[in-house]
């Protein structure tokens, strides 16, 4: 596995509250230069970024972020607005309170409502693993597997902790064939990313790897 192989799986991410257009534009440029899977940015910058990138890089954005407790109608509206502005991928946050109450039918219905709004566009479902028990994580794997969503995603990066390797191994063991896994929050370096990929991660939400690639220089086709 090479550095470039890893970068192709990265959603190059900037979601911090004080982010400016100049910073968003920089990560767009870096994403194109280093060949990442997408840029993942706040909804308010999607239109500007999509116009700036002009098809050179998919734009991903977040819905119900980071807490997930918006109503379904609000999340559907956010999704439609983001797609209209040029987003190609959507990362939604579930209602964690519903999970705590065992209301998985409501979680499933919400995921499917957003997938209906997404159509052929990719939908990733953030379950915020650090706030769930293992039993709840398994139930969410089953729920996402039963839904129309394309990915299950570990974390927002804005809660108590990010992705862990045991969580990714658990997801891999309980997700249905054809459903993918995105890891986010706390990916330290390329070696760490490689371990997540070997465990089953298909996407990596991070800004660190591109930053490390910029500092590294040299051959990105070298083995990690």
DSSP secondary structure letter of residue 187: -
Q: What is the rounded distance in angstroms from the CA atom of residue 74 to the CA atom of residue 223?
A: 45
Catalytic site residue from 9, 75, 115, 153: 153
Paired sense of beta strands 203-206 and 180-184, if any? parallel
Q: Output the DSSP codes for 198-216.
A: HHT-SEEEESHHHHHHHHH
Q: What is the rounded distance in angstroms from the CA atom of residue 146 to the CA atom of residue 179?
A: 10
Token pair, residue 33, equals: 């230069």
Q: Output the DSSP codes for 7-53.
A: HTTEEEE---TT--HHHHHHHHHHHHHHT-SEEEE-GGGHHHHHHHH
- 93, 95, 97, 98: CA torsion to nearest 10: -140
Catalytic site residue from 91, 150, 167, 192: 91
Confirm whether 153 is a catalytic residue.
Answer: yes
Q: What is the rounded distance in angstroms from the CA atom of residue 137 to the CA atom of residue 47?
A: 34
Q: Which residues are catalytic?
A: 91, 153, 182
């Amino acid at each position: 596995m090479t550095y470039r192989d890893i970068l192709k799986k990265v959603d190059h991410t900037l979601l911090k509250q004080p982010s400016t257009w100049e910073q968003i534009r920089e990560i767009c440029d870096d994403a194109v230069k280093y060949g990442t899977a997408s840029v993942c940015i706040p909804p308010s910058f999607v239109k500007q970024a999509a116009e700036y990138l002009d098809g050179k890089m998919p734009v991903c954005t977040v819905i119900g972020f980071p807490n997930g407790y918006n109503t379904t109608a609000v999340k559907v509206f956010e999704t439609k607005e983001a797609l209209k502005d040029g987003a190609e991928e959507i990362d939604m946050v579930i209602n964690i309170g519903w999970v705590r109450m065992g209301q998985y039918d409501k979680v499933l219905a919400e995921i499917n409502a957003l997938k209906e709004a997404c159509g052929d566009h990719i939908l990733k479902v953030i379950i915020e693993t650090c706030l769930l028990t293992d039993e709840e994580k398994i139930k969410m794997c089953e729920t996402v597997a039963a839904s129309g969503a394309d990915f299950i995603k570990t974390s927002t990066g804005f809660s108590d902790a990010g992705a862990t390797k045991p969580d990714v191994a658990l997801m891999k063991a309980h997700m249905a064939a054809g459903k993918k896994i995105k890891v986010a929050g706390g990916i330290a370096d390329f070696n760490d990313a490689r371990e997540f990929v070997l465990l089953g991660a298909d996407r990596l939400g991070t800004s660190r790897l591109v930053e490390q690639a910029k500092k590294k220089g040299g051959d990105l086709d070298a083995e990690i």
